[in-house]
Structure 1
Amino acid sequence: MNKNVIISIGIGIIIIVVGIIAITNQEPSTMEVEDTLNKELLPNEEITPEVQEKLDEIEKINLENEYSPKDREWITSGPFQIDRSEYVLGEKIFLRIGGLGYDEKGQVAFLRPLNTTHYSVYLTIPFDGAEKTTFNYYLEPQLSKTRGYCTIEDFIGDWRVVFRGTEYPNLEFKITEQILPGSESNFEPVC
């Protein structure tokens, strides 16, 4: 029995020694990374005129592409108002209707340009002063294969807002080819 205990203790000691050797010979699992947060990433040599010209060109493009929404203008025709005269693709067009007469009933028709002289109805919004004298509506032109709006060219240009059933003059606004940053994927051709 003593012999079995001595063999067991010996095997245990050998396992412990082999484990210690294996642990001390392992390489660390972490890597040292140079701290570059506070270091300048430019090379030590002078910037060449060609490189400076490219940097200036990139900065100019970034400034041109910087987006800031136009101020609200509230273009008005009777009780109807839209918030701007110019929108970029992806911006919502805000229609505000306030103070409809009890007997005023009709449709607000948003007409998109087909060419310089013709328009097509994009959307109509019914209104009835007997039911509601004030309400708001948001409209965002979007590509749709089923409706036949395939590319951004279907939306760019001078739009009209017509108030059917009334004598109020039309409103006009423009949608430019610029796309609201972050919504570029919404305007990839669908047809």
Structure 2
Amino acid sequence: MKKGVIVGITAGIGIFAVILAIAISIMEESDVYEVEDTLDREVSPDEEITPEIQEKLDEIEKTNLEEEYSPKPRDWITSGPFQIDRSEYVLGEKIFLVIGGLSSQEKGQVAFLRPLNDTYYSVYQTIPFDGAKKNAFNYYIEPKLSKTSKICSIDDIVGEWTVVFRGTDYENLKFKITDEILPGEEEDYQVPVC
């Protein structure tokens, strides 16, 4: 009889521990955050711009009209399956990258390089691509001041940038960022952050 009581108590404690563990795990906040995979952002190879990108472009143009600002026309610059939407930007404008028609063997990184001086560049951002996983997708970057990246003032952003396609033989693309500031974005660029 003593064995039965001990087994019953042990089973009761075990069940209580399982219920307690489940309750604690439900009440805890998760430290797991979903990160957007840039390779999952799709564009049909037959289209240059997805509805998502077109919506963002329309929103920007609407804002520009409201603030009496007229952006330079898009003059899509191309190197193989890679395109950027302009050859010149003002501070605060987004740089749209459209990738379409990668072969399954093409894998590498798109590297946006900001000028340090007339000869040297620093990597601002890289975007991985793998034609075996996705042969087309869209992406955009918006150069901003950043203390952690040592981009302290507009002098660290303004100039001729280069886009390099690591892992391929495609020609580099070049674009310029001027010292003009997009209306409504002046506050983000007027004071150095370092």
Aligned residues: 127
Choose which of 85, 93, 98 in structure 2 pairs with 1:91.
93
- Name the TM-score, length of structure 1 as normaliser: 0.65
Supply the distance in 1 between the matched residues of 2:69 and 2:115 (Cα, whole angstroms).
Answer: 24
- Whether 2:158 is the aligned partner of 1:156: answer yes
Q: Which has the higher contact order (CA 8 A, sep 6+)?
A: 2
Task: Report deviation, 1:147.
Answer: 1.2
Any idea what SS the aligned residue of 2:102 has? coil
Task: Report deviation, 1:123.
Answer: 0.5
- Whether 2:137 is the aligned partner of 1:135: answer yes
Task: Report deviation, 1:117.
Answer: 1.1
Supply the distance in 2 between the matched residues of 1:166 and 1:79 (Cα, whole angstroms).
Answer: 11
Partner residue in 2 for 1:121: 123
Which runs of structure 1 show a deviation greater than 4 angstroms over 4 or more consecutive aligned residues?
A: none
Unpaired runs of 5+ residues, structure 1, are 1-65
Supply the distance in 1 between the matched residues of 2:135 and 2:142 (Cα, whole angstroms).
Answer: 23
Partner residue in 2 for 1:190: 193
- Whether 2:107 is the aligned partner of 1:105: answer yes
Supply the distance in 2 between the matched residues of 1:153 and 1:185 (Cα, whole angstroms).
Answer: 16
Supply the distance in 2 between the matched residues of 1:75 and 1:146 (Cα, whole angstroms).
Answer: 31
Which has the higher Rg, Structure 1 or Structure 2? 1
Task: Report deviation, 1:81.
Answer: 0.1
Q: Deviation digits for residues 128-149 of structure 1, max 9, x if unmatched?
A: 0001011000100011111111
Q: Deviation digits for residues 53-111 of structure 1, max 9, x if unmatched?
A: xxxxxxxxxxxxx6310111110000000000000000000000000000100000000
Partner residue in 2 for 1:75: 77
Any idea what SS the aligned residue of 1:153 has? helix
Identity, % of aligned positions: 74
- Name the TM-score, length of structure 2 as normaliser: 0.64
Task: Report deviation, 1:181.
Answer: 0.6
1:10-89 equivalences in 2 (<5 Å): 67-89=69-91
